[in-house]
Chain A
Amino acid sequence: MAAVTTPTRPPRRATETPDTPAWARWANDHRKWLFAAPAMAFVAALIIFPLAWTGYLSLTDAEGSVRAESEFVGFQNYVEVLSDTDRFWPAVGRTAGFTVVALLFEVVLGMAVALLLWRPFRGQKWVRVAILMPLVATPVAVGMMWRLIFDPNIGLANQALGWIGIGPQPWLAGQHSALPTTIFIDVWQWTPMVVLILLAGLTSLSDEPQEAARIDGASAWQRFRHVTLPLVMPTVVVAILLRGIDALKTFDILYATKGRGGGSFHEVETLNVYAYGLSFDYNEYGISSTVLIIFFLIIIGSMWALTSRRKESQR
């Protein structure tokens, strides 16, 4: 008679014997999850939980205090926010305008500077350091500094204009000049980052296509347009992606130059500034969360659009 044995799982490893305790075997089986668990807990605690909590708050009428009792109101906040043409939609417009214009200037300027720095020249090291200076400064400090420079009455900018015979400009103080001025500050601070990324892309290109084009008699512009640019395009998309997401989220420069609400007429109120005001000035946590969730979706959407473009350009 054949001995009846309970079927056991054959040992997977030499170290595993039938005597290995059950927990050890279980741990061995699930080790890829076990090792990843701390990282997953970290992500859950720091990303997923706040996001889920914000999502939950966006469906309630929480205000005054987060701990105060609040009622579940479903998508009422979303209806309210999406039909708000007073603050929300203008803020969306400003966010898009700010991002697109700043990004355009930064990429074009960044490309120009990167091309200049591409070929070695004397004193290149110092020029690179000088260009990177704005990048290492804290945005809030940068905002404060420009706010002083652009002060319409005692600022340096208008004094400098006076020396060359141009009348004082309102800069940040003007209702229509404030947003362009903050875009200028953003371009001043972040173009170096684009330069840095593009320069890395340019220096990784091989010289042969350039040489070939030169022998074929292509002009500098033709070489840039038809050789360098297509080759460096993947890096340009990376620069746009990184800088674009950052520009969408810009807060510190706007807050440091125009303060709460983006100025008295909300001149520079972007979605981020608006959501901040809703939370910290108005204590409207429900509505504020709604704005943030919508903003989050906008960022995810633009990221998706850009990365799919990137894949296309790589194809």
Chain B
Amino acid sequence: MGLSACGGGDDSAASTTVRVTLANHVWTENIKKALPEFEKQTGLKVEITQLGEDQLSDQYNVKLNAGSSDIDVMMYRPLQEGKLFAKNKYLADLSDEVKSNKDWDFSDFQAGPVTATSYEDKAVGVPIITEQEVLYYRKDLLAKAGLTAPPKTLDELKTAAAKIKAADPGMAGFVARTGKSPAVTQFSSFLYSFGGDFVDSSGKATVNSEPAKQAYAYYGGLLKDHGPANVSTDMSWPEAMAIFTQGKAAFYTEANSLYKNATDPAKSKVSDTVGFAPFPAGPAGSKPYNIPSWALGINDNSENQSNAWKFVEWATSKEQTLAQQKSGVPGARASVWANPEGTATYPKDLVEAIAASTKEGVGHDRPLVNKVAQAREIVGQPIVDAIAGKDAAAAADTANEAFQKFLDDEAK
């Protein structure tokens, strides 16, 4: 086996069992099915722990904090906790490993995702899943409302949502995440498309800029006026997706990586009438995020780093990435996207929407800071205030002040 040993030193005593912690995701289901192949190839045994997103994060906080060595490979969110984990030295430096195998080819990974999985110019993870925000819509409801094409701009989206809700008050014109923190990532595309961002180029908080205020008011207003009846301010994607797939909403903006939930007849009542479109353009054009949502890293405290790398290398290989992408998980390998086989199983309109998103996409969907969870709560406050019918502009001013203080504290 042409693999160099990891920085872990003497691996002769390393266990032949690789302990892998993964999130509940389609990617994980696919990799579990392919595992016997890897175990046969290498003679290693893989032990998988599978957890929900929040539980996964808590598990890392507890175990990595305690310096535990009983996690070898970890699936993590580069934009959410990557910076913190790297700073805390939880993630092993993989700079040598990623260069060790020409066939595996690290240069094949898209530049944006690679940047997000690097820390101080060192590779600390390998991206496995990428995401762009797209518009999910119901073709039948559109036709019923006399519209021939999905909305191309945010203005058109609002008009169409209003029209559909007015015709049937039990039907939401639009649904999206409403929870203070969960909504931030999907709101980001609205923010960028109005011409705003969370911080400016000099690192100053800008969530009360004019475009940001407009974006908050637009997103919150759309949900308040044309969203589901009794809209809560706690929805993350499972709740919002449920409303859409129960046939109770016409439009839904969400990450493309979740599209199978809407098109799979076993999960969705509207599977045959779902359409996809690029993110509608705002005053600054259509600017959805384009990000790596998950990556694999190796626990720096693992005593089994060399075997752990074998798993990472296999799970992120061209073959696995292609297999994953064929079953609906968008990956980060350029060669797989260039391969017609890599996009053959996607709905045609979704492929077009993704292509459009990757062209104009923004590389982050939340503030790029150490304490992301805290930052999300701060910049998410005006979203929920707007949904609750409060003054979005005033909320944005308050949030900006708190966010600037947060940034100053973190820079200390």
Contact = CB atoms under 8 A, between A and B. Distances in A.
B248 interface: yes
Contacts of B180: 261, 264-265
A173 B179 CA distance: 11
Contacts of B230: 152-153, 158, 168-170, 173
Nearest to A155: B230
B370 interface: yes
Contact of A153 (B58, B179, B228): B228
Interface in B168-190: 178-181
B376 to A, nearest CB: 9
Contacts of A263: 233-234
B243 A153 contact: yes
A191 to B, nearest CB: 26
B339 interface: no
Nearest to B85: A65
Interface in B51-70: 54, 57-58, 61, 64-67
B371 interface: yes
A46 interface: no
A281 B374 CA distance: 7
Contacts of A313: none
A57 to B, nearest CB: 12
Interface string B66-93: 1100000000000000001001101000
A234 interface: no
Interface string A57-86: 000000011111000000000000000000
Contacts of A296: none
Contacts of B65: 65-67
Interface string A280-299: 11110000000000000000
A283 B65 CA distance: 10
B234 A264 contact: yes
Given A175-B388, A261-B377, A282-B373, A170 B232 contact: yes
A243 interface: no
Interface residues of B, number: 37
Given A154-B243, A154-B248, A283 B232 contact: no
Contacts of B236: 259
B88 A173 contact: no
A68 B54 CA distance: 23
Interface in A235-270: 258-261, 263-265
B250 to A, nearest CB: 14
A279 interface: yes
Contact of A173 (B67, B231, B370, B380): B231
Interface in A154-180: 154, 158, 168-170, 172-175
B61 A64 contact: no
A170 B66 CA distance: 42
A264 B178 contact: yes
Contact of B233 (A64, A151, A265): A265
Nearest to B64: A65
Given A65-B65, A66-B65, A282 B248 contact: no
A64 B179 contact: no
Contacts of B58: 280
B242 interface: yes
B389 to A, nearest CB: 11
Contacts of B87: 64
Given A65-B88, A154-B243, A282 B371 contact: yes
A168 B230 CA distance: 8
Contact of B84 (A64, A66, A260): A64
A64 B370 contact: yes
Contact of A258 (B234, B239, B246, B377): B234
A173 B371 contact: no
Nearest to A153: B228
Contacts of A151: 239
B229 A154 contact: no
A154 B239 CA distance: 10
Contact of B234 (A173, A279, A280): A173
A152 B229 contact: yes
Interface of A: 64-68, 151-154, 158, 168-170, 172-175, 258-261, 263-265, 279-283
6 contacts: A152-B228, A152-B231, A152-B232, A154-B242, A259-B234, A261-B180
Nearest first, the 10 A-B pairs at minimum CB distance are A173-B232, A152-B230, A264-B180, A264-B233, A65-B88, A281-B373, A264-B384, A66-B65, A282-B374, A153-B228
